[in-house]
Amino acid sequence: MSVQMHQKFSEILSIKGVVGVAMLSRSGRVVFQAAADTAAWQGIDALNLAPCENLQEADLFFEHLRLYVRPAGGGFFLVAMHPEAPAAMVRLNCDTLFSNPDGRKKPKKAGWFFKKRAAS
Amino acid sequence: MPLPRHATTTRRVLIVDDNQEALFSLQEGMAKYGRHFEILIAGDGKVAVQKLSASSIDLIVTDMKMPRMDGLALLKHVQARYADIPVIIMSGFSTPEMERLARESGAAEFIEKPFKISYLHDRIVAILNQQADGGTLHKVTASMFLQLIEMEQRTCTLRLQSEATGQRGALFFHRGQLLDARVDELREEAAARKIFSWDEVSLSIQLSCPVTRGRIENDLQYILFEAMRQKDESRAPEDAGRSRQASPAPDTPSVTQVPVVLTETLRRALSGWHGVDRIYSDTAARDLLQCFNDTGRSLSAGKLAFAFVRCGDGGGRVLVPDGAQTAIALSTACPREKLFQELMRRLHGAFGENADERANAPKI
C-alpha cells in the first residue's frame, strides 16, 4: 500500500463523523485498519463480505453506525461513520483515491473547503 | 509569482485601451509573462465586447476613458453578462472619486497610470489566484460535487471545464442556492443544464460570489435531473438498437413487481422524489441483506435499517429488510443523501429507546 494511500486514509479518517477506515481482502483478512474510536472495528475479523463481490459500492445504515463499502484492490475498503457524517465528502474522497490510487497528478485539495465548515 | 494549476488550462487576459501606443506597449511588456497567460487586445469597449463573445476570457484590464464605450460601461456589461470575469480598471486621470466609483461598480482593482508592467502582472496573478482560493479538483463528476455545495450551503463561484470537450462554464452559488450560470453566451438555467450534462469536469472554487440576484428559479436537483434526462434522450436513438439485444443491467431486478407490506406507504412517502424510478420486491436480495445483517451484528452496529447498493452504471437501489425485500430503484439523478436522510427520519421510530420498538422490524 502506497504512502499516498495511507495519507488519503488519514484524510478520510479526519472527516468529522468518520470513526474508522479499513481495508479487507476478499477472503476477509484485515489488510489495514485505523480508527478514531477504538471500538469502531471490534469484530471486523468476523466479517464476510463475499456476497458483495459484484457491488460497485454499498452504503449500510445500521442502528448505531453507517458503513460505506467500496470494492478496492481485490478486496473491500470500509468507512465506518456516524449517520450524520458528510458521506458525500467520504464518497468523493474514495472516488479520487480509487480512480488515482498512486496519487499522481494530485491537485490542490478542496477537502478543507467542506471540512472547515463541518468543524465549526 | 506563479499561477497555480487551475481548472482552466490557458488563462486569457484582455487588455482594452484606446491609446494604441500604450496598448502595444502593455502587450509587449506582458509578453515576457507569456507562460502564465495569453494576452488579447482591444481598442475600445465596443471591440472588447466583440472579443468577449468570440473567445473565452479570464480577466479584463481596461482603461477608464475611451470613446464609444468607456471602462465603466464595459464593466457594467461584463457584470451583467459575464459575472465570473474580473475587471481591472486603469486610469491616467485618477481621482479618489473615480476610484470609488470603479470599486463600487464592482472593479476587482483600480490602477493609477503610470505603473510598472511587473506591478500589473502581479495584480493579474493575484486576482486569477483568487479564482481558485477554495481549491481545485480534477476529473470529478459535477453533479455529485454540486450536491455537496448545496448540502453544505456554500457561497462560491465554480469555474468548470469539461474534460471531454474543453468547454468552460461558471456556476454561482449563494448559501448553497444556485443563482446563475454561464457557458459562453448561454446563461441562467440553460447554461446550468449544459454544465450538468458534462460527464467529467475539472473545477476551481472561488470562495465568493459576485452575483447577488438569483436568475434561476428551479432548484438544483430539478435542473440536474432535467440535464440527465435530456442527455439520456439525446443518446436514446443510438442506444435503442443496442438495448434491445443487451442483457439486463446488474441493477435491473430479476423479480416480478409484487405488492408488499411497505410499498404503498413508501410510494406515498417518496412521491415527488426526483430519481426514484420504482418500488418493488427484490427476492434476489435476500442473501445480500443477510450478509449486511451479519456485518452489523459482527461490528455491534445494531439492526440494519436499510442498505443502498450499486452494481452497474445505474443509480443503484435501496434495500429494506422488511421481510419482503422491498427495493427502491434509483436513477443517477436521485439526490441520494436527501433520500437517505428521509428514510432515516421515517425509520427512526423503529430504532427508538423503547425496547419493544427495537424488537420490531423497521416500519416506514
Give the domain CATH number at B288.
3.30.450
pLDDT at B234: 66
In a domain, B184, yes or no: yes
In a domain, B1, yes or no: no
Whether the model pTM is above 0.90: no
Smallest Cβ distance to B4: which of A39, A108, A109?
A108
pLDDT at B240: 46
In a domain, B293, yes or no: yes
**Best B138, B293, B299, B303 residue to mutate vs chain A (most A CBs within 10 Å):** B299
Nearest to B362 by CA among A83, A87, A62, A84: A62
Nearest to A81 by CA among B65, B41, B324, B340: B340
pLDDT at B261: 41
Q: Kindly state whether residues B82 and B142 are assigned to the same domain.
A: no
Q: Kindly state whether residues B48 and B97 are assigned to the same domain.
A: yes
Low-confidence ranges of chain B (pLDDT < 70): 1-10, 143-144, 147-148, 151-152, 232-269, 271-272, 323-324, 346-364
Q: Measured between CA atoms, how close is A10 to chain B, in angstroms?
A: 19
Output the CA angle B88-B93-B98, nearest 5 degrees. 60
pLDDT at B267: 64
In a domain, B307, yes or no: yes
Grid cell, residue B283, equals: 427476492
Torsion over CA: A115, B1, B4, B10 (sign): positive
The answer, for B134 touching chain A at a CB cutoff of 8 Å, is: yes
Number of domains in chain B: 3
Could A54 and B147 be called an inter-chain contact, meaning their C-beta atoms sit closer than 8 Å?
no
**Domain finish residue from B81, B104, B130:** B130
The answer, for B137 touching chain A at a CB cutoff of 8 Å, is: yes
B-chain residues within 8 Å CB-CB of A91? 144
Q: Measured between CA atoms, how close is A56 to chain B, in angstroms?
A: 5
Grid cell, residue A56, equals: 460497485
Return per-residue pLDDT of chain A as tens, 120 residues.
Answer: 566 677 778 888 888 889 999 888 888 888 888 887 767 788 787 788 877 878 889 999 988 899 999 988 778 899 999 888 888 888 888 888 877 544 444 455 555 555 554 444
**Residue pair A94/A58 in contact by the 8 Å Cβ criterion:** no
**Best A42, A113, A120 residue to mutate vs chain B (most B CBs within 10 Å):** A113
Domain A3-119 has CATH 3.30.450.30: yes
Full domain range(s) for residue B222: 135-226
The helix (H) or strand (E) run that includes residue B59 is strand B59-63
Q: Measured between CA atoms, how close is A79 to chain B, in angstroms?
A: 12
- Nearest residue of chain B to residue A54 (CA atoms): B311
